[in-house]
Amino acid sequence: MNAPISAAWPVPVSVAPDALADIQADFLREWQRICDEAQRGTLAPPADRRFRGAAWAASPQHLLMAHAYLLSARVLSRMVDAAQVGEPLRNRLRFSIMQWVDALSPSNFLAFNPDAQQAVIDSAGRALSDGLANLANDIRKGRISQTDDSQFEIGANVATTPGQVVFQNSLFQLIQYTPQTATVHERPLVIVPPNINKYYILDLQPANSFVRYVVEQGQTVFMVSWRNPLSTDQDGVQQANWVQYLDEGVLKALQIASDISNQPQVNALGFCVGGTMLASALALAQARGETPVASLTLLTTLLDFHDTGVLQVFVDEAHALLRDQQIGQGGLMPGRDLSTTFSFLRPNELVWNYVVGNYLKGQMPSAFDLLFWNGDSTNLPGPFFTWYFRNTYLENNLKVPGRARAGDTALDLTRLKMPAYLYGSRDDHIVPWTSAYASTQLLRGPQRFVLGASGHIAGVINPPQAGKRNYWVNEDPALPGDPGVWLANAQEHAGSWWPDWSRWLAGHAGAKRKARTSVGNTRYAPIEPAPGSYVKVRAD
C-alpha cells in the first residue's frame, strides 16, 4: 500500500511501498534502541541545542520524550524526501512539515520543558510572571522581541557615521558622509540598500559599520535611505511603482552624487533587493544611451531568479494575483508581514528560541544591534511590490533581454558592460550563492566573483578587525557557467572580504585629491545631519 502524507493536500501524495517499508523498519529499530538505552539509564542527551540543558539530562522521562520527538521529525523528513511528487511540491511539503515539527517541539511548552519548569522553581515563580509580562509587551508591539530594543537608538549608537542629508524626495533621502581622511578618491561611491529593510544594516555600530570602513578607506560615500511609507501618508507614495523607484530613486541618487562630486560617472553598490534595483536602473539608463556608473558592486543580489531557495515555496500565480487585487493599484505591503515571513524561514532560531526564552523562562533577550535592525521593518508601496514579485520571483523576466519593462522601455541586463564585483554568501538561505553567481552569466563587463562564509547578513557584515570567517576567490577571469567548477578552483582566504573589495574599488575610483571640508554643493545643500529623518520612521 501507499501511505498518504497529508489527506488535506490538494493532490494525492504518497510514498512507494518499498521506501515506506524501509522507513518503518528504520523507525522501529531506532525506537527500540532508544527504549533499551532509556531502560538501562544510559540514554544520552541529544545533540540538538533545544534539549542540552541540565534539567533535560536529569529527567529520564523528558529525555525519552525529546528523543521520540526527534526520531519522529526525522521520519517525517524522510517521508517527504521519498514522496512521489515533483520537486516544487516536495519543497512545499518540506517547508510545511518543518513549520509543524518545529512548532510542536516539547521544548516549546511549559508542561514538557523541564528547563523552563526549573527556571520557575528557582525564581520562586518570578520567571512565570516575567514571561507573561514579556508576552503582553510583545502582543502590544505586534512581534516577538529578539533583542532589548531599549539599548539602541538610531543616530545615537547605531547609524552614527557622520554626514548630512543632501537631498530628499517622496521616495528617499540621500546621505553624503563626511570624509575621514585627508585625501579622497575623486569618483564617489553610491550605495543602494534594499527598501525592504532600513539602510543602517550597513552602518550599525562603529566597530561593524561597513559605511565607516569604506569612508576610512578614502572613499566619498553616498547612501540612499529609503522612505518607510505609512498607511496615513497622503502624498501618493502608496501608489509608487517600480519605474518610479528606478527613475526617481536610484538614477536620481546617481545623478546627484555625480553633480556634487563633479564627476561624469560614479561607482555604485547594491545590496540584496537594492542590487536588483540598481542593475535594473542601469539597464534603463543604458536603453536611453546613458552610462552613469563606472563600476558596479552587487552584494547577495539576485538578477536571475531561477533558484530562489526556500522562498520559492511562497511563489505561485495565485499569490501574485491575490497581491495584484489587494495592493496592485495602491496600498501597502506591510513590513510586519515580510518580517514574519523571513523569521519563519528559520523558525527555531528566529521564533521558537525567543518563545522559550522570553515567555517560558521570563528572560529578556540580550542587546544585539543586528537583531534590533531586523525588527525595524519597512512597508512597501503595493504597486512596487506586485511588479517586483511577478517580474522576478514568479516569471524571472529580468534574465531575458527585453522581457522586463520599465514603463515603455525594455530592460536588457546583458548590455551592462562596466566592471563588476559580485559577492555571495555560502550559507545564504535568501539568496543562494549559486544564484548570486548566476549574475556573472548576464553581465558582460570584466567581473570578479567572491564567495564569503556565513549567511545573508553575517557574511556581508564581517569587519576585518574582527578576524572572523573566510572567503574564496578564483583569479581566473573566465568565469565558468557552473558555479561548482568555479568553487573547485577557488582559493580560500582567512578573514573578511572587505579589503579585497576595497582594493578592487580603489582601482575604479580615480586619483586622490584633498578632501573637502563640507558636503553637498550650492544646488544640493545639507538638509539635516545623518542619519536623517526617514530612517527613524517606524512601520505601522
Q: Look up residue 443 and give its three cell numbers.
A: 553581465
Residue 493 has a CB neighbour count (10 Å cut-off) of 14
Cβ neighbors of 323 (< 8 A, separation 6 or more) are: 333, 382, 385, 386, 389
Which sign does the torsion angle of CA 317, 321, 322, 327 carry?
Answer: positive
The identity of residue 338, as a single letter, is L
Closest by Cα among 222, 208, 209, 218 to 177: 222
Do residues 389 and 323 touch, judged by C-beta distance below 8 A? yes
Report the C-alpha gap between 417 and 291 in whole angstroms: 10
State the Cα–Cα distance between residues 453 and 428, nearest whole angstrom: 9
| Grid cell digits, residue 374 | 531586523
Would you say 175 and 222 are in contact if contact means Cβ atoms under 8 Å apart? Answer: yes
- Amino acid identity at 362: G
Q: For residues 340 and 322, what is the distance between their CA atoms, to the nearest angstrom? A: 19
Distance CA 334, CA 348 (A): 23
| Dist. CA 403–CA 103, nearest whole Å | 42
Tell whether omega for the bond before 483 is within 30 degrees of 0, i.e. cis.
Answer: no
The secondary element (H helix, E strand) that includes residue 101 is: helix 87-103
Report yes or no: 447 and 440 within 8 Å, Cβ to Cβ: yes
Which residues are tagged catalytic?
272
What's the N-to-C CA distance of the chain in angstroms? 52
* Pairing verdict, β 332-333 and 380-381: antiparallel
Q: Where are the beta strands (DSSP E) in 440-510?
A: 447-452, 470-473, 491-494
- How many CB atoms are located within 10 Å of the residue 400 CB? 15
Q: Please give the Cα distance from 493 to 451 (Å, whole number).
A: 10
DSSP letter string, 244-275: HIIIIIIIHHHHHHHHHHT-S-EEEEEETHHH
